[in-house]
Chain A
Amino acid sequence: MRKSFLIAGVALIAMAGSAAGWVATRAVPDAPPAASFAVLDAEKNEIGRYVVPADKDIFAQPNADEIIYGKRLLADTARLLPDNVGAAMNCNSCHLLDGKIDAANGYINTVNFYPRVMPRAGKEVDLETRINGCFQRSMNGRPLDREGREMKAMIAYMEWLRQGVAKEHRVDIVNAGPVDESLIPDPDNGKVIYAHKCAACHGVNGEGMRDQFGDIIFPPLWGDESFNIGAGLARTYKAAQFVKWAMPPAMQLDGQLGQGGVLTDQEAIDVSEYFTHMPRPDFAPKVNDWPNGNKPKDARY
């Protein structure tokens, strides 16, 4: 009798002990390992991994103030640089989420991409020139001082974002996903799609939406405050790539903005034909574009 009590007691203590041990060692659920992109060399061989850095990491940088200023300029361009921005647009209107997303005009490879010969300019373009191209076309405004604090701050943000990936290497992301450019746009269908899928944010008349301070929430897609005819986004197929892969946001339960994946290639091309060809500001220096020919088929002039 006493022996069986003893055995029962020992068994009980052993069970309690192992239960306590199990509770103590059980992993607390936390975030999965960070997602990463391949880093490719010139021959497209993977030579490492790139993890999109958290913004908190900026605080640890020696030039943290400059990087944060650049980040703010990219996000709040129209408010912070009213003399340079003519349109009701911010850089991040097209470069979604501070340029950290694949297929949404990221800034991750930007520093490493320039200088390069661009067909539209017909000559070598450096990063400052490229940024100022955006200010004159997409932002329908005036160029920044190439040596100024603002230009340096924007580039400092992009420099931080590349996380030391060497100049000749690339992070394996794209500016925009593909659409089938053999498809013929139907702007009448585009108008219907615009009303159903775009107008809730960009307005029934393409006027966009502003907040309590008058700052832009959703940019106007046509009219005097939209991007001018010289912008890449004024081209049907280029706009369609963005529309298909990056628009609308807040449609999925995953992805950083839940963006894209709503329209077919045809629908994206139809709606892009519709809104890009609505009235918008002209771009006088357009006469200098594509000096060596090779104009894309959706060029506007």
Chain B
Amino acid sequence: MRVLKLALLAGLSALAIGWGVAASTPYWFAPKQDRKVDIADPELIARGEYLARAGDCVACHTAPGGAPYAGGLGLQTPLGTIYATNITPDPETGIGSYDYGDFERAVRKGLRPDGVHLYPAMAFASYQVVSDADIEAMYAYFMSAVKPVAKQNQPTTIPWPASLRWPLAWWQLLFAQPRDFEAPQSDDPLVARGAYLVEGLAHCGACHTPRGLAYEEKALKDDGSGRFLSGSVLEGWYAKNLRNEDTGLVTWTEEELVTFLRTGRNKRTAAFGSMSDVVEHSLQYLGDDDLTAIARYLKSLPPRPGREQWKPKEDVTTAALRDGDFSAPGAMTYIEHCTACHRLDGKGAPEVYPALAGNSMVFADDPSSLIQVTLAGGRMPSTLGHSMAFTMPGFAHLSNADLAELMTFIRNGWGNHASAVTEADIARMRKEIAHKPVHYAPEAAQ
């Protein structure tokens, strides 16, 4: 009985200390900056708009069909749904009452003016490296040029006690230690610029870097572990490996990458899923210099040991299919459902239908994206340069057995080589798609 009492006491003390430390972080871990920003400066506002585009703030802080930046998009977590907040300058429901210090602390430190800690769904761990000058410009833009919208924030559906916010302070202490941007070693200033954008505002790692058990990104920069941007699965999409290695980007040229980032399509592949939104809302608006910087930096990410090369095997598929030999497992299903667009040579049609041959999404280590886009379909971004947003229709009407055989054929055709896709893989993805979250707060529930 005495031991029990002691344990209880110890537990309560730990809890009290834990809470105390959390409550104190606004004073020492994330102290508020005091700075005046001329929010009426048109040049600053214009630069802030560009940077907000680069940060793709609009993607999460806008509900489908909703007013820009007024919040409402839901992010599914194992515990419940978190809704992105209203970041328009409305003084009551948005961030209109924020001074610069409040804004800076929310963006870079994940702390609200009332001392509440933000969920790491907000990419503050990445935004930490954004320069003061850039934060100031974005503050000017949000305060002066974004249209205020009166819309209450939607509470999360996470139940108590998981809904308590103070433990998030500990997450921040463990995984979001303050840091400044450190340019990678390179004589090329574009590589440094690319690293600054990729690590910071563009927060590519939020999807492309694997996460740990506590939802933390396993690397926030290229730290020598090789984990940064090495590919990750989110909501059933595999955000591909972006390192300059085998199933990453080693087969892509810098020019192909820039074209892809600007238009969501190139001779090799097409964007779909969340990447399509990133191109549509953010990347298409970036200047050539910044897109080239991003591409050059990604191409500079060294391969992990043993993963330098990816060589296609000999292509026997094109000749077989052109000669009418459809006897390989999966070949007839490919001929029936896929050749009309992806063609006998697996090369598709440049910038219209993506190639399957040599497309690293197709032979990625993790076939999740291939399976999901084949089951549910996908849509390219619509951009200023390419208004036709081509789709791939979903093929959920094909059986698991046919789809598994088909995808194994595609992953190993035309010189591709990768693991087989199983019927269980297809069944699992059907479940995942059936349980997709509704990504916005229904207006009626407000």
Contacts and interface: CB of A to CB of B under 8 A. Distances in A.
Interface of A: 28-32, 34-35, 54-56, 58-59, 68-69, 72, 75-76, 92, 96-98, 196-197, 200-201, 209, 211-213, 217-218, 248-258
26 contacts: A29-B427, A29-B434, A30-B400, A30-B427, A30-B430, A31-B400, A35-B397, A54-B336, A56-B332, A56-B336, A59-B332, A76-B344, A92-B340, A96-B340, A196-B387, A196-B388, A200-B386, A200-B388, A209-B350, A213-B345, A217-B343, A217-B349, A249-B341, A252-B393, A253-B379, A254-B393
Contact of A250 (B336, B391, B396, B434): B391
A201 B388 CA distance: 10
B145 interface: no
Interface of B: 324, 326, 332-333, 335-337, 339-341, 343-345, 347, 349-353, 376-379, 386-388, 390-394, 396-400, 402, 427, 430-431, 434
Contacts of A211: 343, 345, 347, 349
A68 to B, nearest CB: 6
Given A197-B388, A211-B343, A256 B394 contact: no
Given A29-B427, A32-B396, 6 more contacts: A35-B397, A200-B351, A201-B352, A250-B390, A251-B390, A251-B391
B58 to A, nearest CB: 23
Contact of A97 (B333, B340, B390, B427): B340
Given A29-B430, A55-B332, A56-B333, A257 B399 contact: no
B345 to A, nearest CB: 6
A205 B380 CA distance: 24
A258 B388 contact: no
A31 B335 CA distance: 19
A256 B393 contact: yes
B391 A252 contact: yes
B337 A256 contact: yes
Contact of A254 (B339, B341, B378, B394): B394
Contacts of A32: 396-397
A92 to B, nearest CB: 7
Contacts of A257: 340-341, 393
B397 A201 contact: no
Nearest to A259: B393
A92 B336 CA distance: 12
A213 B319 CA distance: 12
A253 B394 contact: yes
B324 A258 contact: no
Contacts of B434: 29
A197 B389 CA distance: 10
B429 to A, nearest CB: 9
Contact of B376 (A31, A249, A253, A258): A253
A69 B324 CA distance: 8
Contacts of B386: 200
B392 A258 contact: yes
A196 B390 CA distance: 13
A275 to B, nearest CB: 17
Given A59-B332, A249-B341, A31 B388 contact: no
B368 to A, nearest CB: 16
Contacts of B399: 30-31
A254 B434 CA distance: 16
